[in-house]
Amino acid sequence: MKKRIVSAVALGLIVAGCSQMAPPPAALNDGELAFPDGYKSWPVFLSAVQREDAKQIRDIYMNGEAARGSSSSGFPQGSVLVMENWAVKLDADGKPMKGADGKLVKDKLAAVFVMGKNPGWGAQVPAEQKNGNWIYTAFKGNGELNGDAKYNTCRGCHTPLKDKDFVFRYDEHFAMKK
Ligand code: HEC
């Protein structure tokens, strides 16, 4: 009888212990982030970035964790940034057209780029390409994983931005937040 009570108490402790511990995020690498369903209702990081040179418009969103970032401390663990790359309408000469507002005009969604960070992520990345523990994943405009993405190219552009938590539009974003 006594034994049974003890084991019931022990079981209760184990269950209580588990419910207090959130499971740690799985250790992911480039190309392994899930498509961020529902990101269009996330806070806006920057919208309608005009990239005439690349013939694109870019809309950037962030999850709730990233929204807690600051220009002095960067983005907390658990942050996710999502960038929509929109192709723009071109004229007969293949040059980007402008609307009445002087801005580029969206055509099709060409790609969705995602970067996310968590402790232990990107463990397989060579030291010289490490961007803290940010990892990258590229999706096509239809939401399918882009199996041809070369993640060393993402890193090639973002790695030099050490002072900005490896985020390009860092200053612009925090200036807008003020
Ligand atoms: C040629 C350089 C270059 C490459 C390659 C590149 N990026 Fe970027 N990335 C940028 C620039 C510049 C911006 C800022 C937005 C803009 O000006 O278009 C940016 C912005 C982003 C953002 C929004 C946050 C920020 O940094 O402002 C995400 C997310 C992102 N890139 C993911 C990726 C992923 C994923 C890849 C690889 C599949 C990638 N990038 C490859 C240059 C690059």
**Mean pLDDT of all residues in the chain?**
91
* Better-scored residue on pLDDT, 7 or 91: 91
Name the residue at shortest CA distance from atom 23 of ligand 1. 83
Helix (H) or strand (E) holding 62: strand 56-62
- Domain for residue 121, yes or no? yes
Expressed in angstroms and rounded, the spacing between residue 70 Cα and the centre of ligand 1 is 19
* Count of domains forming the chain: 1
Q: Which domain holds residue 80?
A: 26-177
- Domain for residue 15, yes or no? no
Q: Ligand 1: does its nearest atom lie under 6 Å from the Cβ of 44? A: no
Q: Residue 128 above 60 pLDDT?
A: yes
Give, in order, the Cα–Cα distances in Å from 99 to each of 34, 64, 106, 156: 35, 33, 10, 33
**Against a cut of 0.85, is the pTM above it?**
yes
- Domain for residue 150, yes or no? yes
Expressed in angstroms and rounded, the spacing between residue 155 Cα and the centre of ligand 1 is 9
- Domain for residue 17, yes or no? no
Q: Ligand 1: does its nearest atom lie under 6 Å from the Cβ of 149? A: yes
- Domain for residue 11, yes or no? no
CATH of the domain at 141: 3.50.70.20
- Domain for residue 127, yes or no? yes
- Domain for residue 115, yes or no? yes
Residues 158 and 168: beta-carbon distance below 8 Å = yes
Q: What angle (nearest 5°) sits at the alpha carbon of residue 36, between those of residues 31 and 37? A: 140
**Tens of pLDDT, residues 12-25:** 555 444 555 677 77
Name the residue at shortest CA distance from atom 36 of ligand 1. 154
- Domain for residue 140, yes or no? yes
- Which numbered atom of ligand 1 lies nearest the CA of 85? 18
pLDDT bracket for residue 4 (50, 70, 90): low
